[in-house]
A and B are shown apart, each in its own frame.
Chain A
Amino acid sequence: MKLRQSVDAAPGRSPRQAIPFLLPALVVLAALVLYPLVFSLIRSFFDAGGDEFVGLRNYVDTFTDPRTLTAFRNNVIWVVVAPAAVTGIGLVLAVLTERIRWATAFRLVLFMPMAISLFASGIIFRLVYEEAPEQGVVNAALVGVHDLFSPSSQYPGARPRDGYTRTEEGYVATAPSRAGDTVMVPLTGFSPQEVPARALPASQPATGNGELRGLVWLDVSVGGNAGKVDPIERGLPGIGLEAVRDGKVVARTTTGDDGRFTFPDLASDEVVVRLPASNFALPFRGLTWLGPSLITPVIISSWIWIMTGFAITFIAAGLSAIPRDALEAARVDGATEWQVFRRVTIPLLSPVLLVVFVTLVINVLKIFELVFVIAPGSVQSEANVLALQMWQVSFGTGGDQGAGSALAVILFLLVAPAMLFNIRRFRRERS
């Protein structure tokens, strides 16, 4: 029997009736998506101005340009690290939320970043990772923890005036001294306002019998004499000093409230007075998160913050679709919870995990705004990714639309496998 096409299955309905329904969407798609795709492909074989055919030169240039190579490297890091991390975290959290009653609220909180713009998320994380501990909460927390274990010095940045050389260990007197001497240590580079309140006016100690004595004071040159103890000047309490002989520390002492110190029982040999660096250490200011070396991990962390909610919600939907029977049968068969998870849940969930993963990979390949916003201008080249590079080359500073088109085509080719994955999944679901 000869088959008629199913096309006009119902009398009086012609395929032509589809035209008015399809036309608006098709025109827009053809003009602004399909035609541009073809155009970009062709355009990528022409030079910056679009006048001269240059063959594959744009592609060759692209793969030899160090900026693009950095972008490639970063894209690889992104693809390798980020989707797997988000899928993993999402899986763990989705499973954990199955045990709690406020699961919906929890998922809602984690999903919220999906609603706001990548620009706003970028601002949020720029603030989170801001270097100054007065502004960035991460560094503030780091400094807090750091100072808990090694408190910062009392006189950051202060230094002796003359007669001392700077070494790893601290400031070492150029001239040796011995018991009975008086050592004067005038310090500068420190604001009088920050001298502790308990400090007393400085005065030179009397020469002691058999003791090495001395004074550490804040020597202001304005309104006083440099290197001399003036009436308005105060001693600096709490400064540690060491007496060193032949490279070995033989005695330690600390200045009193009037800035005076004493090494009580030194033998008669010569020693060198040293002020350990810890007295003057600059405070810990946290890490340079937005600097060249950490910028990509930082941006990835913000992306994880944005996408985890998506993964959780998707995976949780997958989890709830797993038939209870299968899990219960496994339990009845004597499997432990872990075995149930490994042998039943994960295999049944794997299609969902794959979809989540692929989706995240596509998303990662197109990452643009986060890098653009979070990376400060000076390190953007370090944080560069293809999508950003494409924009910069064609619209930013570059203005080379040939190279930009080549990058666009490369981006398209990178996404193409995902495209095929989607089409195959769609076809399978249909049948």
Chain B
Amino acid sequence: MTLVAEEVRIEVPVSGAPKRGVVSRLVSRLGNGFVQLVLALVALFWLVPVFGLLIASLRDESANTASGWWTVFTKPSELTLDNYADLVANQAVWQSFLNTFYIAVPATVLVVVMAALASYALSWIEFPGRETLTVVVVGLLVMPIQVALIPVAKLFGAFGLFGTITGVVLFHVAFGLPFAIFLLRNFFTGIPRDLIEAARMDGATEWVIFKRVVLPVAKPAIASLTIFQFLWVWNDMLVALVFADQDSAPITVALRAQLRQFGTNIDLLATGAFLSMVVPLAVFLVFQKYFVQGVLAGSTK
């Protein structure tokens, strides 16, 4: 067949210089500088919207209605922290900000603890149905939370959990577990078997092995999970929209009411949104390595 002959044909460069394609020649002609320029522009596209929100949050209502945030370059005097002061003084918004913590912290701790326990059993204790259980957990990774909204609302109603922080936390724990178990189990099974067995020989019980050997060794994975789960809960809106009431609403839900008159509420919304972003951004910048690992590991969520 001619195909084969073509495949193995060796192209002999005429001039001695390596033969190169149009694209690569073009790229090297324009050079690295061009690539850098393009990427710098792309990065700008990613930064400008956030920067715009930040500036909008630092200008008062009349300034925001009258002119765009970019005019700040000519009128820097318009910048003010008043919006933030107002927001913090606003009891409801401030409460919702605190609620976000009250929801995110326990939901994270519970998920990490439960998932670590379960992952240990799935990795290092043999029991019938272990394979099946692991596969079920993998299957649950992509479960849309919509399938649980109505039944769980009923369930919470029956137990008096509807509209409470506890209810919101429980729901987050349930839907955080599959990914958490998946991530930790992957890490736990990667721990050398010798290490576990050495501990077993050294006289450790399962509980001691878990606490004294597996948990410390798995610190990076636990860090990834903690950060990922915290941000996941912190950033949630849908769950809280359904299960939280006015007093237990996190900041995303509390601000939602202001959406109706967006144009005139820019100062409030921008400030609120930015306030809600401060924590994730700080966590992201400080722990970005762990966060990126967590997202990549949990790509399927």
Which residues of A lie under 8 Å from residue B145 when comparing CB positions? 366
Which residues of A lie under 8 Å from residue B274 when comparing CB positions? 120
Chain B nearest Cβ from A69, distance in angstroms: 18
8 Å CB contacts to A: which residues of B183-242?
Answer: 200, 206, 210, 231, 234-238, 241-242
Contact with A along B124-142 (1 / 0, CB 8 A): 0111101001110111111
Q: How many residues of A contact B (CB 8 A)?
A: 105
Contact with A along B242-260 (1 / 0, CB 8 A): 1000000000100110011
The answer to whether B263 and A130 have CB atoms under 8 Å apart is yes
Chain B nearest Cβ from A147, distance in angstroms: 15
The answer to whether B39 and A96 have CB atoms under 8 Å apart is yes
8 Å CB contacts to A: which residues of B248-297?
Answer: 252, 255-256, 259-260, 262-263, 266, 269-270, 272-274, 276-277, 280-281, 283-284, 288, 291-292, 295-296
Which residues of A lie under 8 Å from residue B280 when comparing CB positions? 115-117
B174 at the binding interface (Cβ < 8 Å): yes
The answer to whether B170 and A28 have CB atoms under 8 Å apart is yes
The residue of chain B having its C-beta at the shortest distance from the C-beta of A360 within the complex is B299
Which 6 pairs show the lowest CB-CB distances between chains A and B?
A117-B235, A15-B127, A32-B174, A115-B284, A337-B24, A36-B151
| Residue of A119, A128, A136, A310 contacting most chain B CB atoms (<10 Å) | A119
The answer to whether A33 and B52 have CB atoms under 8 Å apart is no
Chain B nearest Cβ from A425, distance in angstroms: 9
The answer to whether B295 and A36 have CB atoms under 8 Å apart is no
The answer to whether B300 and A336 have CB atoms under 8 Å apart is no
The answer to whether A412 and B144 have CB atoms under 8 Å apart is yes
Q: How many residues of B contact A (CB 8 A)?
A: 114
| B238 touches which of A37, A39, A391 (Cβ 8 Å) | A391
The residue of chain A having its C-beta at the shortest distance from the C-beta of B274 within the complex is A120
Which residues of B lie under 8 Å from residue A117 when comparing CB positions? 234-237, 252, 276-277, 280
Known: A96-B35, A111-B292. 15 other contacts (CB 8 A): A15-B125, A21-B206, A33-B140, A37-B148, A40-B150, A99-B32, A106-B42, A127-B49, A133-B68, A135-B68, A140-B70, A305-B49, A337-B21, A377-B260, A401-B150
Kindly state the separation between the CA atoms of A116 and B238 in the bound complex, as whole angstroms. Answer: 15
Which residues of B lie under 8 Å from residue A390 when comparing CB positions? 146, 149
| A127 touches which of B53, B125, B142 (Cβ 8 Å) | B53
A35 at the binding interface (Cβ < 8 Å): yes
Which residues of B lie under 8 Å from residue A355 when comparing CB positions? 299
Question: Assuming the A-B contacts A99-B35, A134-B68, are A123 and B270 also in contact, with contact meaning beta carbons closer than 8 angstroms in the complex?
Answer: yes
The answer to whether A120 and B46 have CB atoms under 8 Å apart is no
Which residues of B lie under 8 Å from residue A376 when comparing CB positions? 262
Chain A positions within 8 Å of B, measured between CB atoms, are 5-10, 13, 15, 17-18, 20-22, 24-26, 28-29, 31-33, 35-37, 39-40, 43, 93, 96-97, 99-100, 106, 108-120, 123-128, 130, 132-137, 140, 305, 309-310, 313-314, 317, 333-334, 336-339, 355-356, 358-359, 362, 365-366, 368-369, 372-373, 376-377, 387, 390-391, 394-395, 401, 404-405, 407-409, 411-412, 415, 418-419, 422-423, 426-427
B155 at the binding interface (Cβ < 8 Å): yes
B152 at the binding interface (Cβ < 8 Å): yes
B120 at the binding interface (Cβ < 8 Å): yes
CB<8 Å pairs between A and B, sample of 28: A10-B200, A13-B126, A21-B120, A21-B206, A25-B114, A28-B114, A29-B174, A31-B174, A32-B173, A32-B175, A36-B150, A43-B150, A110-B42, A110-B43, A117-B236, A117-B280, A128-B49, A137-B52, A140-B70, A305-B49, A309-B46, A334-B13, A336-B20, A336-B21, A395-B153, A408-B146, A408-B149, A422-B141
Kindly state the separation between the CA atoms of A168 and B68 in the bound complex, as whole angstroms. Answer: 34
Kindly state the separation between the CA atoms of A13 and B206 in the bound complex, as whole angstroms. Answer: 9
Kindly state the separation between the CA atoms of A411 and B11 in the bound complex, as whole angstroms. Answer: 54
Chain B nearest Cβ from A125, distance in angstroms: 7
Kindly state the separation between the CA atoms of A33 and B203 in the bound complex, as whole angstroms. Answer: 38
| A15 touches which of B128, B140, B142 (Cβ 8 Å) | B128
B67 at the binding interface (Cβ < 8 Å): yes
The answer to whether A32 and B10 have CB atoms under 8 Å apart is no
Kindly state the separation between the CA atoms of A338 and B21 in the bound complex, as whole angstroms. Answer: 6
The answer to whether A119 and B50 have CB atoms under 8 Å apart is no
Which residues of B lie under 8 Å from residue A124 when comparing CB positions? 49-50, 52-53, 273
The answer to whether A115 and B291 have CB atoms under 8 Å apart is yes
The answer to whether A106 and B135 have CB atoms under 8 Å apart is no
8 Å CB contacts to A: which residues of B41-59?
Answer: 42-43, 45-50, 52-53, 56
| A412 touches which of B143, B155, B200, B231 (Cβ 8 Å) | B143
Contact with A along B25-44 (1 / 0, CB 8 A): 00100001001101100110
| A134 touches which of B65, B126, B284, B300 (Cβ 8 Å) | B65
The answer to whether B149 and A134 have CB atoms under 8 Å apart is no
| B48 touches which of A112, A136, A137, A411 (Cβ 8 Å) | A137
Question: Assuming the A-B contacts A37-B147, A411-B146, A423-B138, are A106 and B43 also in contact, with contact meaning beta carbons closer than 8 angstroms in the complex?
Answer: yes
Kindly state the separation between the CA atoms of A362 and B299 in the bound complex, as whole angstroms. Answer: 10
The answer to whether B142 and A137 have CB atoms under 8 Å apart is no
The answer to whether B237 and A118 have CB atoms under 8 Å apart is yes
| B68 touches which of A15, A118, A137, A336 (Cβ 8 Å) | A137
Question: Assuming the A-B contacts A22-B121, A391-B242, are A116 and B177 also in contact, with contact meaning beta carbons closer than 8 angstroms in the complex?
Answer: no
The residue of chain B having its C-beta at the shortest distance from the C-beta of A417 within the complex is B142
Kindly state the separation between the CA atoms of A313 and B296 in the bound complex, as whole angstroms. Answer: 8
Question: Assuming the A-B contacts A28-B174, A100-B35, A426-B138, are A13 and B237 also in contact, with contact meaning beta carbons closer than 8 angstroms in the complex?
Answer: no
Which residues of B lie under 8 Å from residue A111 when comparing CB positions? 288, 292
The answer to whether B173 and A96 have CB atoms under 8 Å apart is no
The residue of chain A having its C-beta at the shortest distance from the C-beta of B23 within the complex is A338
B98 at the binding interface (Cβ < 8 Å): no
| Residue of B151, B174, B210 contacting most chain A CB atoms (<10 Å) | B151
Question: Assuming the A-B contacts A33-B143, A106-B39, A109-B46, are A17 and B206 also in contact, with contact meaning beta carbons closer than 8 angstroms in the complex?
Answer: yes
